[in-house]
Amino acid sequence: MVMFFGNRIDLVLWLAISLVLVSVIYGLFLLVLSRFEPRRSKVSPRREALPESETTVVFVVPCLNEDRVLKASLDRLTSLDYSRIHILVIDDGSDDGTADIVRSHPDPRVHLFQRVLPEARQGKGEALNAAIRHLEGSDLIAGLPQSDVIVCVMDADGRLDPHALTEVMPLFLDEHLGAVQIGVRINNRQQNLLARMQDIEFVLFTHVFQRGRRHLGSVGLGGNGQFVRLSALTGLGQSPWSRSLTEDLDLGVRLHIDEWDIEFCSTSSVHQQGLVDVKRWIKQRTRWFQGHLQSWNLVPGCSGIFRERAARTSCTT
């Protein structure tokens, strides 16, 4: 309590009310923005075909004991109607049949990158960093400019919409575009109320917040269904992904700081399993909250993002 003009003021209460009001106003603001396209939108109803001879998509699938779901995921990826793709599976020290499933897959575009202890099991970010370094020196992209290689991070249980590449790849015709995030849906949303609520949460986040943030130049990346230009990744150094518990959040912010544009594509989605157990859900959200706290060290680098974007936009209009 403090005295203000003779009245007792509860600072904690007023701070709480202020935070709630700011959150509501921000949410309504993004809701309004999400209802129409940005003036300089890269997403157009008319899809311009991107020549396959000029771009290669490498799906990177980090795995730790995923033999129950991996084969079906590989079959879905190899069935995509796009010839220039590779699937690089990261076996991050699994002790089940993950590596055997990859080795026995009949499609020659499926490749295994195996990590062993003590290097393995140091987090998703470290596994992805190792995969990018491996990819740079491999024959999969030999002779290709890094700007023509698109890396897509997929979870082992992820199900990509069959038309996703048709929707996403033309966006990379813009040389300033560093990454594209697609929508996320929960494929077991009918199982129980918790799974249904997670699906609603992801739909609201993608179709309201992500669409609204397109106007602000602050679209974020998720851990599943993120498409990133290889030259944008390598421009961040040897470790594009951090050791943070939310390495996807860090990557998106660092790409913005490095002056790359990030777009959100709402016309395609990746489908993943939702959690149906409350204890596991609480553990997941605790990890996400801790990861957001770990990202505070990126805040100083964000101060000039919008100013630089505004300056670049004014120069091109």
Task: Summarize pLDDT for 103-125 with one digit per residue, the tens.
Answer: 999 999 999 999 998 888 998 99
> Per the domain annotation, does 26 fall within a domain?
no
Number of domains in the chain: 1
Domain that holds residue 204: 57-316
> Per the domain annotation, does 244 fall within a domain?
yes
Q: What secondary structure letter does DSSP report for 240?
A: S
Q: Angle at Cα 182 formed by Cα 176 and Cα 186, nearest 5°?
A: 165
> Per the domain annotation, does 306 fall within a domain?
yes
- Taking a C-beta distance cutoff of 8 angstroms, is the pair 102, 112 a contact? yes
Q: What is the pLDDT along the chain (317 residues), one digit of tens a residue?
A: 556 666 677 778 888 889 999 999 988 988 898 887 887 655 544 445 554 446 899 999 999 999 899 999 999 999 998 888 999 999 999 999 999 999 999 999 999 999 998 888 998 999 999 999 999 988 899 889 999 999 999 999 989 999 999 999 999 999 999 999 999 999 999 999 999 999 999 999 888 899 998 888 889 998 889 999 999 999 999 899 988 888 898 999 999 999 999 999 989 999 999 999 999 999 999 988 888 888 877 777 665 555 555 555 444 44
> If residue 3 lies in a helix (H) or strand (E), which one and from where to where?
strand 2-4
> Per the domain annotation, does 20 fall within a domain?
no
> Per the domain annotation, does 127 fall within a domain?
yes
Residue 284: which CATH number? 3.90.550.10
> Per the domain annotation, does 14 fall within a domain?
no
What is the number of alpha carbons within 13 Å of residue 150 lying toward its C-beta? 27
Task: Summarize pLDDT for 60-96 with one digit per residue, the tens.
Answer: 999 999 989 999 999 999 999 888 899 999 999 999 9
> Per the domain annotation, does 48 fall within a domain?
no
> Per the domain annotation, does 41 fall within a domain?
no
> How are strands ordered across the β-sheet holding 177-186?
110-115, 85-92, 56-63, 149-153, 226-229, 177-186, 261-272, 159-160
The tokens for 137 are 């020196």
C-alpha–C-alpha distance, residues 214 and 11, integer Å? 35
